[in-house]
Structure 1
Amino acid sequence: MENPTELHLQAAKRVIRYLKVTTNFGIFYKKGGDDNLVTYVDSDYASDLKDRKSISSYVFLLRSRAISCLSKNLVMHARTKHIDVHFHCLYELTKVGIVELVHCSTEEQLIDATTQPLTLNVFLKLQGPLGAYFENEVN
């Protein structure tokens, strides 16, 4: 960075504090269990008031453990027609029983643990279902 500010220093300190507290924090994968693939998806259309970018995020769980997650800010462009294609693909898969779509309330939306600023209590509530634990909690 060419011109760091006080804000950059504060952000760096916050990241270092987080890393210090979470050095023994991770995802514990265990043998056996349910092989269902579960996905939580969240999107926020044009939520940024400055540039009207949308946010899209997802997390895939296998055996009740996160195996992949992504969050990104999307810029609206000509390729939004693919949303329509994906919607109809999901519609067809749901119709034949391959995929089940279930609405989740905000309190149950696991992806928020990776994309939202949360209070400690909410974070701790969501981290268990993602399979994330402190090392001393895993037995």
Structure 2
Amino acid sequence: MHLPQAQHMTAVMRILRYLKGTSSTGIYFDKNDHLDLIAYTDVDWAGDRDGRKSTSGYFTLVGGNLVTWRSKKQKVVALSSAEAEFRGIAKGITEILWIRKLMSEIGFPQKTACKLFCDNKAAISISENPVQHDRTKHVEIDRYFIKDKLEDKIIKLPFVRSRDQLADILTKVVNSEAFDEALRKLGIGAPNAQLEGECRNNHN
């Protein structure tokens, strides 16, 4: 917005073409036998070419259904991928805490730790290790925030392979096959096609 260039207009036009071509797309909510709360969080370290800031994103699902999502550029430049991941994980935990509180208030408290899937083994290892690391001193608050929630058994940080990281589509460019697969797993698509598929499956 401050210094628009031709490549910015190209990106905007691409977004508008995508929105026009997916105007009938929606989120399908399926009836499952659980209300487990899980989240996927991912970060594109220094992906912004203009200011080298990182983009973090998350998806949260309740009972296997997508309920919230976010993709946002981080406010400061991260000095390492682990630092960027810490900030992304902290945002994901904050969202989990809010949804846990809401579910508890309406009579559906979470009885087990919520899974927050991350594809950065270094960030997971440091989060679970109480020893201070020199390379994370500048994100010490985020690190201890994450550590406290792990120790309180509010969250777990299971590792997920990059190809199974659904939040990838919020932070970086992926090929069309990976993009479509992520949307399918998130229950995003043309509602009529999904309902027709359900009817066929039930009929068979």
CA positional deviation for 1:83: 4.4
5+ residue gaps, structure 1, are none
User: How many residues in Structure 1 have an aligned counterpart in Structure 2?
Assistant: 136
- 1:134 paired residue number: 190
Instruction: Verify: 1:64 aligned to 2:120, yes or no.
Output: no
Instruction: Verify: 1:123 aligned to 2:176, yes or no.
Output: no
The 1-side partners of 2:65 and 2:180 are apart by 15
- SS of equivalent to 2:51: coil
Displaced runs of 4+ in structure 1, greater than 6 A? none
Name the Cα RMSD after superposition. 3.0
Alpha carbons of 1:47 and 1:133: their partners in 2 closer, same or farther (altered >3 Å)? closer
- 2:37 paired residue number: 37
- 1:102 paired residue number: 158
- Residues 15-30 of structure 1: matches in 2 within 5 Å? 15-30=15-30
Cα contact 2:27–2:191 (8 A) shared by 1: no
- SS of equivalent to 2:169: helix
Identity %: 29
The 2-side partners of 1:101 and 1:118 are apart by 24
Alpha carbons of 1:120 and 1:46: their partners in 2 closer, same or farther (altered >3 Å)? closer
Alpha carbons of 1:8 and 1:82: their partners in 2 closer, same or farther (altered >3 Å)? closer
User: 1 or 2, which has the higher helix percentage?
Assistant: 2
CA positional deviation for 1:118: 2.2
Q: What code does the residue aligned with 1:136 have?
A: N
- 2:105 paired residue number: none
The 1-side partners of 2:55 and 2:168 are apart by 12
5+ residue gaps, structure 2, are 78-86, 88-136, 196-204
Cα contact 1:65–1:129 (8 A) shared by 2: no
The 1-side partners of 2:182 and 2:38 are apart by 15
Q: Deviations over 1:34-59 (max 9, x none)?
A: 21111111124434454231222211
The 1-side partners of 2:48 and 2:24 are apart by 34
- Tell me the TM-score normalised to structure 1 length: 0.76
- SS of equivalent to 1:59: strand
**Deviation larger for 83-92 or 104-113:** 83-92
